[in-house]
A and B are shown apart, each in its own frame.
Chain A
Amino acid sequence: MSVLSDAAIRRLQEAADAPDLSGTKYVALDRIAQGGMGTVYRVRDRELGRDVALKVIRLPEASPDIAARMLREARTLARLEHPGIVPVHDVGRLSDGRVFYAMKLVRGAPLDRLPTSTLADRLRIVERICEAVAFAHAHGVIHRDLKPQNVMVGPFGEVLVMDWGVAKLVGDVSSLGSLEGGGEVADLVVEAGAPTTGHGVVLGTPGYMAPEQAAGDPALVDTRADVYALGAILRDLSHGAIADPGPKSRRATPARPLEAIIQRAMAAEPRERYQDVMALARDVAAFRAGEPVSAYRENLFERARRFTVRYSTPILLVLAYLVMRITLLAVRGR
């Protein structure tokens, strides 16, 4: 046999890791992303004639605990029906034994590669992320790895929170059910209330991870860890586009109220943060609308300035009217 070229080895690497889709309704098209535990492929659903994203567990991670985690991610997503959360269409095992799930193929760009936009647009994105995360919280799911790379922004401005692989479930998870033929995987998943992350195991991303999460004790992590991560995303976006924030000296300094929102969201102590994600979203929306925010106490001058900026159009109209009246009176008086 002739020597294998570097290009041939790359093809073989892909071939060896390629999912065995025989016996399924999917045809592989290309590999689009790679995460910590799974590789995502663009595949064609032959029955419905549409392209979907297929996440397949990476080799050699077919161990029961990793398979269980991916399956749990699929089930977590499946019960979170929200426009800001990528929907799952299908879940199962391939004939090579690897767990997979099919989800909507999200087009667009991750938040960290978003082109330059206005601050108002970026704040609106944060609000929409907050809405999706708040919905998940209401259903007992804590994301635990919110970061710009895990948020996709579609071509029509749709915002989708991705990668729920390390999500923590709180409360009753028995509704997750079991995967037929999934044996040991299902057993791990349906142990309601059982911690799936061991003590000392740190899941998350530095820079976006709350201090209590970085400490590695899953019992300390609650929804306020997501508030911290959202604060970190807000911090990134307040400077401009994450991909190209420009030189440090020329980056916009966030206004004081916005800075205060970030600081409160990212407080080291969970009790000093916003106690729920919607409280953060409300402050971001208030700031965007030029209204007072709960995280910042304005002085009289700032209040007057904000009032002036917010109501600049009616103020200008009144002023113009007054100037006109005074001018008319002056002309008549001659």
Chain B
Amino acid sequence: MASFPATRHSVVAGIASSDPQVRRVAFDTLISAYWRPVYKYVRIKWHADRDDAADLTQEFFSRAFEKNTLERFDPARARFRTYLRVCLDGFVANEHKAASRIKRGGGVSFVPLDFAAAETELAGLHPSPGDNGASVPGADDDTFFRQEWVRALFTDAVAALHDLCVAAGKETHFAVFQRYDLEHDTGARPTYAQLAAELGIPVTQVTNYLAFTRRELRQLLLERLRALCATDAEFRLEARDLLGVDPR
């Protein structure tokens, strides 16, 4: 998995930097956050086969880097995520028209992208997309792209949380989080008492460990989100959307 680079400054500002090093780091960060949704979007919404989707994904970022496409983003007009998707649509449409996909993945190389892993994710979420992709019923383009972007963001934050817990010797903390918040897609969520018995810790520790991991996850998510937004207003809007789930 391409990990999220350490920088937490606004990536959107960074890609417009005159300093090549800053710009490069910003692009790496941007790609780390967006390549999965971009790949899945091209696969599903543009019905591209695996190889084409992988090529188009690499070429999209490569072209954006070379031609400064993303630097023209105007925060007053849209969210960055929406702008990026619109750019992607334009890019893929042009590629289809020109049918000139001979030299993709061009001269610039970025963080390594694990397309096989993305394909496995896609197969798990949208069964049988097939080699030519398939449409996802009920999801418009923007909803689908956002959904996959959120998934990438959470996947990355959870991986970072895991690394953080392991590094700090808090594996049991992560185990509590994993059992209580991550797993049980099927079946009931375990009770605190069940978890305490399962992991051999007092019930009070279960709630403390959960509070710790949730706090860290929140921090990791907000850090990443802040880096991917151009303005404070956009950050607040995205964060509110991201964490403001409807009451059940």
Contact = CB atoms under 8 A, between A and B. Distances in A.
Asked if chains A and B come from one complex, the reply is yes
Interface of A: 1-18, 20-22, 27, 30-34, 39, 58-61, 95-96
B208 interface: yes
Mostly, the A contact residues are: mixed
Contacts of B245: 10, 13-14, 17
Contact of B208 (A2, A10, A13, A22): A22
Interface in B204-235: 207-208, 210-211, 214-215, 217-218, 221-222, 235
B121 A3 contact: yes
Count class of interface residues, chain B: 35 or more
Contact of B158 (A7, A12, A21): A12
9 contacts: A4-B151, A4-B155, A7-B185, A8-B185, A9-B150, A12-B217, A13-B242, A22-B208, A59-B240
Looking at chain B's contact residues, the main secondary structure is helix
A97 to B, nearest CB: 10
Give the one of B147, B158, B162, B235 with max A CB within 10 A: B158
B182 A8 contact: yes
Contacts of B183: 8
Nearest to B246: A34
Contacts of A5: 124-125, 185
A31 B125 CA distance: 27
A60 B239 contact: yes
B181 A11 contact: yes
B154 A4 contact: yes
Contacts of A22: 207-208, 211
A58 B162 CA distance: 25
A27 B211 CA distance: 12
Contacts of B150: 9
B211 A20 contact: yes
Given A12-B181, A22-B211, A33 B247 contact: yes
Interface string B129-151: 00000000000000000010011
Given A22-B207, A34-B244, A16 B155 contact: no
Given A15-B214, A27-B207, 10 more contacts: A1-B158, A3-B124, A3-B155, A5-B185, A6-B125, A16-B214, A16-B221, A22-B207, A22-B211, A61-B240
A33 B246 CA distance: 8
B100 interface: no
A17 B244 contact: yes
Nearest to A97: B215
B236 interface: yes
